[in-house]
Amino acid sequence: MTKLLIVVITLFMPMLIQAQGYNALFIADSLRKDADVVKRYEEYILTIKSPAKYTLYEKHVYTVLKPAASSYARYVTHYDRFSSINYVSAKMYDGMGKEIRHSKKSDWKDNSAYDGFSLLSDSRYKENDFFSTEYPYTVEYEEEDENNGTQGFPRWVPQRSPKMSVEYSKFTIIAPADYVVRYKQLNFAGQPVISQKGSSKIYTWEIKNIPALKEEDDAPPFSELVPSVIFAPSEFEVEGYKGNMSTWADYGKFMYQLVKGRDVLPDEIKKKVHELTDHLGNEKEKIFVLYDFLQKNTRYISIQLGIGGWQPFEASYVAEKKYGDCKALSNYMIALLKEAGITGKYVEIYGGKEPPPFVEDFPFSQSNHVISCVPLGKDTIWLECTNQTVSPGYMGSFTGNRKALMIDETGGHIVHTPVYSVADNVQRRIVTATADADGNLDAVIKNIYTGLQQDFPHSLMYDASKEDREKYLNQMFNLPTYQVLKNEYKELKGIIPAVEESLQIRLTNYASITGKRLFINPNIFGGATQKLMADTARKYDYIIDEDYRDIDSVEIKIPNGYKLETIPKEVSLQTKFGKYVSSVKLLDDRIVYYRLMEQYNSRIPAKEYNEIVKFYEQVYKSDRSKVVLVKPE
């Protein structure tokens, strides 16, 4: 071998190795199966400098196989007054692993992380986006950040979506030898490799060759299905506030530091509290009156500046400005209660219709929202302080039926918000309709929604314009042609609130005519709109996460001259996950229909999934059964 050839090989060998490493042809078939993207390589290095500082290095390499995964070509990294970005880099490779683009830090877009509703925020983000119409291609992102404040660490989740497979992922923590590194492994059987280098202890987790997952409707939360490790500090510090997160009691004591002393009200508000409550006979009445005062005199505006993401603005600030974020408004409500001699509590909670599972045996921040509550003996009044129209004591689907952390001077206490049962979440629909000989129907509907079932009608009342409400109402039913001529709403406030809805509707060609026969489906406005697909190879449990009861009572006056020919049979189904009853009768010149549908919060093993399929198949069929009327010659 000549010296020149040796030099050429030496110079180009690293490039050849790199190209081979990112060449999509080298991805194993097992990782291509069912995958839209392959995570080729991932590495985190979290270095804890002190209870107040840490750095984080990240490297992510994705091979995008299909257009459905093109979002992985975009990379976003956030920063604020607590964090700074030391370094970012982005590279793009073609299917053979050859580098075709390279973005430096100066090439990245820098934007305010405005969320659309915050008044003020110091959060910003940098982003880079690659684009290609040729698949597969590979992107490589690197960054290093410096963080002031150690109140939270990133979670290691190698597999981020069902359609992602993983070749290799690693997470390393470097910490002072005497620092207690807290972690909890979920669906991960391996143990970290622990070593010591000088005065530092090094913890390393790694995982290889995770195939893509089969996607299934209503499966358990994704976090239940994939390996992950949660990390949280023991001793920590943020903006001079020190704390410990080893127990819920300790975590709560830290949060209490941030809230304590911020409940002082101006004199005029104190006077108003006494005007409103001194003449009332019991605490519940006082709570409801003060909550009404809060709703009518404040509004929600998010303010996220510095430690304001954790600490509420003072009650005096809210009294003056008449606005605040969830923390500030909840703290203000507690201050109003205190002035009336009532003890309110500050509660951290995750707000959203699909909250992640609460990890009870591993203390760390698991909230994105704050509410307040008042324990009253065996009862508790829960208060959502950011909503100007919701009933006092009602949590709904946004904060109901989940664990949360109540904060007081003794620390943090795990609590559970109200669970809304089948008896709470009811829709009662009474329909009176008249059919004509051309198959048209004029119908009047009286609906009463309670509990979770009133959430959406409540939003139609308060959050939708008249035009938007009418547009929705004229699209809500699974009917070919109809028009809502009139709509009216009335709210009944309470711990389990209700909304009364009155609709007047004209349905064109609802009943079908064939010769001398008239076919009418008496289940005009309710019913299952789709069937579940059978799956003998289902892998995961089937989750039903909401209880409800629907009751439909329908009377349809039939046209003169028609007689009954056939009528659907009565159906009665009872299972552990639902109940269904339907019956149809002809009384004089009226079709009388009754339908009851109940769904029960359940977790059904995969092997029983086809029982659910059968149940909903029977419901679907019954809901579409028709009365056949005939007009004698």
Which of 574, 571, 567 shows the shortest CA–CA distance to 592?
567
Average pLDDT over residues 52-81: 94
Distance (Å, rounded) from C-alpha 298 to C-alpha 302? 13
Average pLDDT over residues 538-558: 95
Residue 95 neighbours by CB under 8 Å, 6+ apart: 23, 24, 25, 134, 135, 136, 137, 138
Give residue limits of the domains in the chain.
3-238, 247-416, 426-630
- Mean per-residue pLDDT of the chain: 92
Residue 370 neighbours by CB under 8 Å, 6+ apart: 312, 326, 327, 330, 346, 347, 348, 349
Q: Is it true that domain 247-416 has CATH number 3.40.50.300?
A: no
Which of 393, 596, 426 shows the shortest CA–CA distance to 498?
426
For residue 239, name the pLDDT band (cuts at 50, 70, 90).
confident
Show the tokens assigned to 396. 């709904």
Return the SS3 of 537.
Answer: coil
Q: How far, CA to CA in Å, does 544 sit from each of 218, 323, 403, 617?
A: 7, 38, 18, 16
Taking only the tens place, the pLDDT of each residue in 93-135 is: 999 999 999 988 788 988 876 544 444 556 788 899 999 999 9
Q: Where are the beta strands (DSSP E) in 136-176?
A: 137-148, 164-176
Residue 166 neighbours by CB under 8 Å, 6+ apart: 31, 38, 39, 42, 158, 159, 207, 208, 209, 210
Return the SS3 of 604.
Answer: strand
Show the tokens assigned to 80. 């604020």
Calculate ∠ Cα 463-468-471, nearest 5°: 140
Q: Is it true that domain 3-238 has CATH number 2.60.40.3140?
A: yes
Show the tokens assigned to 271. 């006077």
Average pLDDT over residues 17-32: 84
Place of tokens 């189904």: 573
Give the pLDDT score at 2.
53
User: What CATH class has 426-630?
Assistant: mainly beta
The least confident of 66-70, 375-379, 423-427, 580-584 is 375-379
Give the pLDDT score at 20.
60
Distance (Å, rounded) from C-alpha 454 to C-alpha 431? 18
Show the tokens assigned to 162. 């069902």
Give the pLDDT score at 122.
63
Q: How many CA atoms lie within 13 A of 466 on its CB side?
A: 3
Return the SS3 of 548.
Answer: strand
Average pLDDT over residues 564-574: 96
Query: Residue 175: is it exposed, middle or buried by C-beta count within 10 angstroms (0-12/13-18/19+)?
Result: buried
Taking only the tens place, the pLDDT of each residue in 126-157 is: 899 999 999 999 999 999 999 888 888 999 99
Estimate the share of the chain in helix, then strand, then coil, as percent rounded to the nearest 5.
25, 40, 35
Cβ atoms of 400 and 451 closer than 8 Å: no
Give the pLDDT score at 118.
47
Return the SS3 of 393.
Answer: coil
In angstroms and rounded to an integer, the radius of gyration of the C-alpha atoms of the chain is 30
Show the tokens assigned to 5. 């050839």
Torsion angle of the four alpha carbons 305, 306, 307, 311, in this order, in degrees rounded to the nearest 10: -10
Taking only the tens place, the pLDDT of each residue in 339-396 is: 999 999 999 999 999 899 999 999 999 999 999 999 998 899 999 999 999 999 999 9
Taking only the tens place, the pLDDT of each residue in 391-429 is: 999 999 999 999 999 999 999 999 999 999 999 999 999
